[in-house]
């Protein structure tokens, strides 16, 4: 696969539709943008091979599964050199769904989903704070997710996303 492959308007339309609904069949995508299902398949393979597509996800409502608390943790590390070791430990905690290496106040920022505040306290006390390399944490509980959306994609050198 050529590393010089550049995405075009059709690729952006495909991505836009799949970012809204990752379960949309290729036949439906093809019909919406006026190409064949085979074209969608080939384009998806190319975008996957070039590393443009990281993965696709089914997004569930955690509250419907009994997970009523979404919290964010600002993590202070003893030393930034501890980052890789701390990340490996955090990856073992199922309730952590995102982890970011940060500039600014915190060394790391993580998103954690728990059943309730007792569950959150247990995860913090028993699993996160004892990790070697973590100096301290600050916890922020989300009261509501106002919106969540995929990023807007624009073609290079163009002012429009073509969809």
What pLDDT does residue 2 have? 47
What pLDDT does residue 124 have? 97
Contact by Cβ (8 Å): 83, 101 = yes
State pLDDT tens for residues 81-98: 999 999 999 999 999 999
Could you count the other beta carbons within 10 Å of the beta carbon of residue 110?
A: 21
- Residue ranges and CATH numbers for the domains of the chain are 1-59 (1.10.10.10), 62-142 (3.30.70.920)
Beta strands in 102-146 (DSSP E): 108-114, 134-142
What does the DSSP 8-state code read for residue 157?
A: T
State pLDDT tens for residues 40-55: 999 999 999 988 888 8
Contact by Cβ (8 Å): 161, 12 = yes
The strands making up 96-101's β-sheet, listed across from edge to edge, are: 96-101, 108-114, 69-77, 134-142
Contact by Cβ (8 Å): 41, 29 = no
Q: 3-class DSSP state for residue 124?
A: helix
Task: Tell me the average pLDDT of the chain.
Answer: 90
Residues 6+ apart with CB under 8 A from 159: none
Q: Has residue 122 got a pLDDT over 50?
A: yes
Residues 6+ apart with CB under 8 A from 72: 109, 110, 111, 112, 139, 140, 142
State pLDDT tens for residues 126-152: 999 999 999 999 999 999 999 988 888
What pLDDT does residue 3 have? 56
State pLDDT tens for residues 90-120: 999 999 999 999 999 999 999 999 999 999 9
């Amino acid at each position: 696969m050529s590393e010089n492959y550049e995405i075009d308007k059709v690729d952006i339309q495909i991505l836009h539709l799949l970012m809204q609904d990752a379960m949309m069949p290729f036949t439906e995508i093809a019909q919406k943008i006026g190409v064949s299902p085979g074209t969608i398949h080939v384009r998806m393979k190319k975008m996957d091979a070039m590393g443009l597509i990281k993965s696709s996800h089914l997004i569930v409502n955690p509250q419907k599964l009994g997970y009523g608390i979404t919290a964010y943790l600002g993590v202070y590390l003893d030393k930034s050199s501890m980052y890789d070791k701390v990340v490996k430990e955090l990856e073992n905690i199922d309730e952590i769904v995102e982890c970011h290496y940060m500039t600014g106040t915190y060394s790391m920022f993580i998103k954690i989903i728990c059943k309730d505040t007792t569950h959150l306290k247990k995860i913090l006390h028993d699993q996160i704070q004892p990790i070697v390399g973590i100096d301290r944490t600050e916890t922020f509980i989300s009261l509501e997710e106002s919106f969540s959306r995929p990023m807007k994609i624009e073609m290079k050198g163009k002012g429009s996303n073509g969809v």
